[in-house]
Chains A and B, each alone.
Chain A
Amino acid sequence: MSTGPTGTDSAELSTDQPAAPSPAPNTRTAAPATGSGSTGSTGATGSGPSGAAPGAVQADVAPTAGGNAEIPAGAEGLRLSRISKILGGRTIVDTLDLTVAKGELVCLLGPSGCGKTTTLRMIGGFLQPDKGRLTINGKDFTFAKPEHRPTAMVFQNYALWPHMTVAKNIGFGLKVRKLSAAAIREKVDWALDLLSLTHHRDSMPARISGGEQQRVALARALVLEPEVLLMDEPLSNLDAKLRVSVRETIREIQQRLGITTVFVTHDQEEALSIADRVAVMNNGKIEQLDVPAELYRLPRTSFVAGFVGSMNTLDVAPRDGGVPLADGTVLPCERMSGDAGDAVWIRPEDLVIEPEGAPGSTRAVVLRVIPRGHYREVLLQCHGTTLRSFTDTEPEAEQAVGVRATDALVYADGVLVQQ
């Protein structure tokens, strides 16, 4: 039990706690938008020298220390080894391996049915794996019942007991552990103070707002001083503004207390904002486990590329250091991850809009400009291909502009090609 209330105030507690090891770099890519990228398939072919400029990409492609580097045995908070689960004759989780460092926050990100919640429920003990092994801080908990695990879960719909007050909800687990009334009160007060809920101590759950209910659920989990905190889409029922505020609260508290945390979400923006590392899941497997910046910049598979952020997906082989468009014209590209593949994906923010005729650009016509607050989303018709760009410039519809790509990801059979 490395975290939790110690009987001191929260400020003292935060300074006493060891800093959570943070494998993630401080710099995070700000994913500018959600939604799918524009697709601009082209059947154009052409020949010419392969003129990719791979140098910078090659350096970037190297595995990141925070991404998939081995975690020393002593620093392991949670390890899933070749975990599988079959439900209703369908393999939901397929020989999954995942190691979470002590104090680290890992997000399981993926579409519905990818197995992320099933994985979380196996960690919590609500489902038992058909195969594999699960250890928490080195101890085997593969088949332990939920009540015998050092885990605590924040449920999607909070799962607050409606017949108990906020304080009783938070103190229930402590009562089950047969702590004295004074100890329960002290720890409950600590949790209420930590989550700024003191004024709701005697409120019933139905009488408080969704955001407050979420904080009560978090307080109820934290007061148990879990070795691993599990969060099952805890923000999905909140409105957009509250979601941002509560996720910042969760992240701040998680880092203060240094709790090993597994956070399930299908919201890529949420995952990139809150996690030290993100595991993108598909068909019961982890497609990529990486720090958010790397995950966004270098998605190893086309599934990850398509799931995280927006993309211009062009099902063509790169040519002449650029991307062939529908009429055969090559869109110039400064850096490409590889020079041979069957698809080229370009982030909208890597598609630069310049004045028409600018050196190194090709001509395009603005179809539509969509204001997105601090940037604009621009749809372009570029030599028979529709492209999407996120830009700070202010082009107008039907205006002729120049377009070039700074970075492009090349995939062969859905796997990133790296030089």
Chain B
Amino acid sequence: MTVLTSQDTSPSPAGPSGSAGDGAGGRNGAGTGARRLRRIGFSALMVSPPVLVVLVFVGIPVVTGIAYALGYTGGPNEMATMLSNSVLRNNGAPTLDVFAKIFDDPLFLKGFWITITVTVVTVVVVTVLAWGIALYARLSGSRWSRILTGIAVVPMFIPVVIGAYAIRNFYLGSGFWGSVWQLLGVQMDPLSYHTSGVIIGQIWTSLPFAVLLISSGVAAVPDALIHAARDAGASMARAVWSVMVPMATVPTVIVATFTGVGVLGSFTVPFMIGATSPTMLGVQMVTTYNAYGLPQDAQAMAVVLFLMAILIGWGYVWAQARQARSSAVMN
């Protein structure tokens, strides 16, 4: 019997090996499936802490905040409603009444346009300055260019509040700015407590990051590509425009979007340097919430800022996608 059993179970070339194979395959399939499930479970476990943190501390406040701006004043917004001087409630359906209210407010509109103006001017000036410094460093390669690049990055290591305070004092009528003009016999308006002072402050805080990013983008363009353009008859300016600028598009877009979003939601610089009113929305939101006791209006302003930031963030997403495509091609 033992011999027979042995013969029966021995593999036979002519025998129905398929069934045995299927069995093995089935077992293997089940094993693979279980392994895959375990792997997915492990991955989910690994990513769950940050996801939970984002959901609890970012996701929920965002959702309740948007709901509050749309007239949902109960539930998690109950406390804010109780402390509020005025709220607009919906009748079961979301309402845009709060947005209509703030867009009817001339003060908000002034703040809105100041925010857009400061953001656009800062982004343009920062991008142009960063490109200038990066190009000078890349093409000159001199000691001075390295010193300039180093100085441009210094503000990154100075807390914004201290820098903003210094800028405010510098551009005051009684500060260095005013004193120098006075010595020259010219009566100049102070730039502090003014939108132009806010723009100077925003540039001061945003430039280091922009210089770092664009410098690395420009430095990544191989010399040979520039030489090839010169060899083809292009002047240095043309070589920069036709080769360097397109090849550093991604870091430029990233700088523009990061700077834009940062300026849009900034508080310290406009609070320290800007006028009390009208001012950028970041400060105006705080004033609306704290001084006027209108958290719902402040929340609606925040939603408006959020939408503007999403619009800018789209550029960043596009740049990242383009960079990923380029990397895939290069690999």
Contacts and interface: CB of A to CB of B under 8 A. Distances in A.
Interface of A: 124-126, 145-147, 151-153, 155-157, 159-163, 172-173, 176-177, 204, 206-207, 220-221, 224
A147 B230 contact: yes
Contact of B224 (A147, A157, A206): A157
B233 A177 contact: yes
B242 A172 contact: yes
B22 interface: no
Contact of B228 (A161, A177, A206, A207): A161
Given A155-B224, A173-B234, 4 more contacts: A147-B235, A157-B222, A177-B233, A206-B330
A153 B231 contact: yes
Contact of B227 (A155, A160, A162, A176): A155
A163 B228 contact: no
25 contacts: A146-B231, A147-B230, A147-B231, A147-B233, A147-B235, A153-B228, A153-B231, A155-B224, A155-B227, A155-B228, A157-B224, A159-B227, A160-B228, A161-B229, A161-B243, A161-B247, A172-B229, A173-B233, A176-B233, A176-B234, A176-B238, A206-B330, A220-B228, A221-B231, A224-B232
A232 B227 CA distance: 13
A272 B1 CA distance: 81
Contacts of B222: 157, 159
A152 B231 CA distance: 6
B231 A151 contact: yes
Contacts of B242: 161, 172
A147 B224 CA distance: 14
A124 B231 contact: yes
Contacts of A125: 230
Contact of A152 (B229, B232, B246): B232
Interface in B299-331: 326, 329-330
Nearest to A223: B232
Top 7 closest pairs, chain A to chain B, by CB: A173-B232, A159-B224, A159-B228, A146-B230, A206-B329, A176-B233, A163-B246
A153 B227 CA distance: 9
Nearest to A172: B232
Contacts of B246: 163
B37 interface: no
A266 B227 CA distance: 22
Instruction: From B228, B234, B235, B247, name the one whose CB has the most chain A CB atoms within 10 angstroms.
Output: B228
A126 B234 CA distance: 13
A40 B222 CA distance: 46
A162 B247 CA distance: 8
Q: DSSP majority for the B interface?
A: helix
B178 to A, nearest CB: 48
Contacts of B40: none
Contacts of A155: 224, 227-228
B82 interface: no
Nearest to B238: A176
Nearest to A173: B232
Contacts of A161: 225, 228-229, 242-243, 247
Interface string B217-251: 00000101101111111110010001100110000
A215 to B, nearest CB: 15
B329 A147 contact: no
A299 to B, nearest CB: 33
- Sorting the interface of chain B by its residue count into under 10, 10 to 19, 20 to 34 or 35 or more gives 20 to 34
Contacts of A207: 329
A159 B225 contact: yes
A159 B222 CA distance: 8
Nearest to A226: B231
Contacts of B247: 161-163
Nearest to B330: A206
B63 to A, nearest CB: 41
A162 B43 CA distance: 37
Contacts of A177: 233
B109 to A, nearest CB: 42
B227 A220 contact: no
Contacts of B229: 161, 172
A224 B225 contact: no
Interface in B190-225: 222, 224-225
A145 to B, nearest CB: 7
A145 B225 contact: no
B330 A220 contact: no
Nearest to B230: A146
B230 A145 contact: yes
A145 B329 CA distance: 34
Interface in B73-130: none
Nearest to B245: A163
A172 B235 CA distance: 12
Contacts of A163: 246-247
Interface string B28-54: 000000000000000000000000000
A204 B329 contact: yes
A152 B232 CA distance: 7
A221 B232 CA distance: 8
B222 to A, nearest CB: 7
A124 B228 CA distance: 10
A126 B235 contact: no
Contacts of A157: 222, 224
A170 B326 CA distance: 21
A234 B145 CA distance: 33
Nearest to A163: B246
A145 B232 CA distance: 11
Nearest to A206: B329
A153 B243 CA distance: 17
A206 to B, nearest CB: 4
Given A161-B243, A162-B247, A206-B330, A176 B224 contact: no
A161 B246 CA distance: 10
Contacts of B228: 153, 155, 159-161, 220
Nearest to B239: A147
Contacts of A145: 230
Contacts of B225: 159, 161
Nearest to A178: B233
Nearest to B224: A159
A176 B247 CA distance: 18
Contacts of A153: 227-228, 231
Contacts of B224: 155-157, 159
A284 to B, nearest CB: 22
A163 B326 CA distance: 10
Nearest to A152: B231
A186 B33 CA distance: 60
Contacts of B326: 162
